[in-house]
Amino acid sequence: MYCSNCGRELQDGEVCNCTQNKSTVESQVSKEVKNENTAEKKQGYDLNKLFLAFVSVFTLTLELIKKPCSTVQSFMNRDNGKMGVKLMLMKAGIMCLYIIILTSSGVLRSAVVKTGVIIAAFMVTFALDFIYSFVIGLCAKAIAKTELDTVTTMEIVGLKAAGEMAGIIAAAVFAVFFSMSFIFIAIGMIFGMVLSYTAVLQLADIDKDKRVHIYIASLVLMGIISAVVLTIVSGGLFIHAVKNISIGNAMFDHY
């Protein structure tokens, strides 16, 4: 007695399992194909989501340039804490792009220093903005005896980051003219201060005079913190660069 499907010899009363095995294999293949399609769709969705985030940030920045007051007011009324974080991250990324352009133009020639500066630029830029959100909350609590939620402080700092990001983008475009690029960064910093000050003025639960005091106090504290952090980071990068130069000279002398 033989199986009519695969031709295998069977014992009396035995049922061949070839069709069952075939069904199992087909099911497994179908499952693998389905998983691959799901992964591809997820990857495409993530890329599309990232692209939409870039577009939304870019659109918001343009609106802040065209209609700063009304855009800030609308932004603060929509609980845009997450958008504030996105603006901070985007600003840090644009700063890295600016550093890459400077290094590519020969301003920073060492590849080791170049990598260190790029990493430090992203981490320090985002960290300082993140710290600033807590500084604003601390000043509000100390001066106005008011607790600002994280969403509000992130919105304020995010708007500041948006203004500064506009200046960094302009600086990256004109990076060939090194001195001019710093002018655009300075303009971006002023624009960011104007936007964040406008955002602080939207805090209706706080007395108007105290809003100004909160903003000034936060700027002073953040200036001190930034000076300390940048001094430590720049000193560490300088020491790192000197060590690499010393190692390079030692290897050159050896050969």
Is the residue at 88 inside a domain? yes
Q: 159 is in which domain, residue-wise?
A: 58-249
Residue 135's pLDDT band (cuts 50, 70, 90): very high
* pLDDT tens digit sequence for 155-190: 999 999 999 999 988 888 877 666 677 888 899 999
pTM beyond 0.85, yes or no? no
Provide the number of structural domains found in the chain. Answer: 1
Is the residue at 16 inside a domain? no
Is the residue at 44 inside a domain? no
| DSSP conformation letters of 83-135 | HHHHHHHHHHHHHHHHHHHHHHTTSS--HHHHHHHHHHHHHHHHHHHHHHHHH
87 Cβ neighbours under 8 A, 6+ residues apart: 57, 60, 158, 159, 161, 162, 165
Is the residue at 2 inside a domain? no
Distance separating alpha carbons of residues 197 and 211, to the nearest angstrom: 9
Centre a 10 Å sphere on the Cβ of residue 255 and count the other Cβ atoms it contains: 4
pLDDT at res. 27: 53
Is the residue at 37 inside a domain? no
Using alpha carbons only, give the angle 137, 138, 143 rounded to the nearest 5 degrees. Answer: 100
Distance separating alpha carbons of residues 118 and 228, to the nearest angstrom: 19
Tell me the chain's radius of gyration from C-alpha atoms: 29
Is the residue at 108 inside a domain? yes
Is the residue at 226 inside a domain? yes
Q: Determine contact, residues 249/234, Cβ cutoff 8 Å.
A: no
Is the residue at 11 inside a domain? no
